[in-house]
Structure 1
Amino acid sequence: MTAAEQEPVLEPVAARYAWWLGLPAERTADRDVPPEQVWAMPVVLRMEKSAPPSRTPLLEAAAAAALAVCLHGDARPGGPWYEALHTWTSGHIRKVARRARGAHWDAVQELPGVTMEVDGAQARALLPCRVGDLPREVSRLQISGSDLPADEPGPAPGDRPVLLLNPGVTMSAGKAAAQVGHATMLLAALLDSARLAAWAVQHYRCYVRVAEAEQWARSTAALARPHEAWNEHGLVAVRDAGFTEVEPGTVTVVARRA
């Protein structure tokens, strides 16, 4: 049994993005929806001016936080978060990353969501809503200026899922944070219940790495046969809709289960 069969919030994610499994999918297009009516998950990145985080831990924190919101106890049917999350996952799982520091970071801690910390870097994923209904604590935050220099985290161990970033695409930290958040959600939707339970014990932590060119070529070649790529290698791709920074259809992340 897959996680999506047990987690109603994730079921639409599997149906929409894992089309190769033959799942029923409502392929609604929201490009013509007025911007203020689009549903999105705000992901707030803590970026203190005096002590900015390293890029990789920040992305890993954002990836875990986005999934943790979806699998929170309040996200179950009948819970206070369920309707908003299910409405969001039933469409395109858009995320908008914003940066915060000081009192503004403290303010978003009061909003429904989950904060994750990795090696001192912090990110908070919030309950999705219509863009036009963003709380003031979020709408006043900046989207731009969320970039961070590349770091060298070293090889990824094999005890957690690994999210490989496309080495041929330049993304701001904010854009990359949204993409790795998509990746953890898609991975979780496809995992069996035992693997998902084991991941939950790790608080949905993962490793984010920029792929080596040859590694990326092998992974994307395998994904030409997506069903086999998942069943045999545990690989799944995030393809961007192309609203910001990259061309539509660009594979931004290849996720690999542990």
Structure 2
Amino acid sequence: MTGFPECGADVRDGSEIDTGAAGFHARHAELARGYGGSGDPDDPAMVQAMQMVLHIPKADPPCRSALLEAAAAASVAVCLDERVGPGGEWEQQYLGWKRSRIRKVARRARGAQWLAANEVPGVTVEVDGAQARALVPGPVGAVDSRIKRLQIGGTDLEHDDPGPADPELPVLWVNSALGMTLGKAAAQVGHASMLLAGALPEDQAYRWSQRGFGCAVREADKDRWVELVARVTLGTAVAVRDAGFTEVAPGSMTVIAVPGSK
């Protein structure tokens, strides 16, 4: 794939993401190798997952599309953070997750819960006032107590119409026919951003990292989805196929990621 955009989002976690080319090479190479390769452990508590926290204030909730964009950017930011690279403090946790079955769990937080979530290792991204934090992956039986108490379901946001996407941005197209909840969609766009970054040439992925992994998330109707599936077949887009653990049938194509125009 070619023509990746230079796009932006506010990425923060108390330190800057390392975008040095030397370290980035190893991190991108690992991401480009793909995922999985080993099944689930015998102990269910050792199943690996990336926890994602969506900031949804009660009084002034964000737009759904912006929150999904923040979630997508945060997910790939963790995967290309310097701390997951060789010798990094997050390396073993990240590799243990990436080389097993990829799972993400989206939770919601507000107020003090959100502030506490930002103390747990990970990366927060803000897009148009919407904030999401992707945490360093680990066993589901060892989730930090500040995260474990957060609700997984029960809150959704109205579908909004953000208008046409910037042609320079990559677009993550969500399969509207599946009717996914906010949390499910957040996990799926997080998968899509990872897949897209790994599929891009290293130099394009590097430039994307310098601009905060900004992207657009849009809903695809039936006709557009047919066109997008054709692009996947041609190799000009990448698709997420869900394992079917929650909400959708195994093998469902949930999100298709398309690079931007430059």
Could you state the TM-score of these two structures normalised by the residue count of structure 2?
0.86
CA contact (8 A) 2:55 2:131 kept: yes
CA RMSD of aligned residues (A): 2.0
Q: C-alpha distance in 2, partners of 1:51/1:217?
A: 36
- Aligned equivalent of 2:94: 85
- Aligned equivalent of 2:254: 252
- Aligned equivalent of 1:129: 138
Q: C-alpha distance in 1, partners of 2:87/2:61?
A: 39
Residues 102-117 of structure 1 mapped to structure 2, 5 A cutoff: 102-117=111-126
Measure how far apart 1:196 and its partner are: 0.7
- Aligned equivalent of 1:22: none
**Structure 1 letter corresponding to 2:123:** V
Q: 1:48 to 1:177 in 2, by over 3 A?
A: same
Measure how far apart 1:197 and its partner are: 1.6
Residues 160-171 of structure 1 mapped to structure 2, 5 A cutoff: 160-171=169-180
- Aligned equivalent of 2:66: 57
Q: C-alpha distance in 2, partners of 1:194/1:171?
A: 33
**Structure 1 letter corresponding to 2:242:** D
Q: C-alpha distance in 2, partners of 1:188/1:204?
A: 9
- Aligned equivalent of 1:74: 83
Measure how far apart 1:14 and its partner are: 3.7
Measure how far apart 1:193 and its partner are: 1.4
- Runs of 4+ more than 2 Å apart: 5-16, 26-30, 32-35
Aligned length: 239
SS across alignment from 1:253: strand
Q: C-alpha distance in 1, partners of 2:28/2:38?
A: 17
Q: Which runs of 5+ in 2 are unaligned?
A: 1-20
CA contact (8 A) 2:27 2:80 kept: no
Residues 163-202 of structure 1 mapped to structure 2, 5 A cutoff: 163-202=172-211
SS across alignment from 1:203: coil
CA contact (8 A) 2:34 2:198 kept: no
Structure 1 residue 204 and structure 2 residue 206: aligned? no
SS across alignment from 1:168: helix
Partner deviation per Cα, 1:126-155 (whole Å, 9 max, x = no partner):
000100000000000000123111000111
Could you state the TM-score of these two structures normalised by the residue count of structure 1?
0.87
CA contact (8 A) 1:9 1:85 kept: no
Measure how far apart 1:212 and its partner are: 3.0
- Name the stretch that deviates more: 106-115 or 6-15: 6-15
Partner deviation per Cα, 1:57-83 (whole Å, 9 max, x = no partner):
000000000111111121111010111
Partner deviation per Cα, 1:139-177 (whole Å, 9 max, x = no partner):
000001231110001111111211000021111111000
Higher relative contact order (CA 8 A, sep 6+): 2
- Name the stretch that deviates more: 54-63 or 5-14: 5-14
Q: 1:33 to 1:174 in 2, by over 3 A?
A: farther
The percent identity for this pair of structures is: 49
Measure how far apart 1:222 and its partner are: 3.7
Q: Which runs of 5+ in 1 are unaligned?
A: 17-25
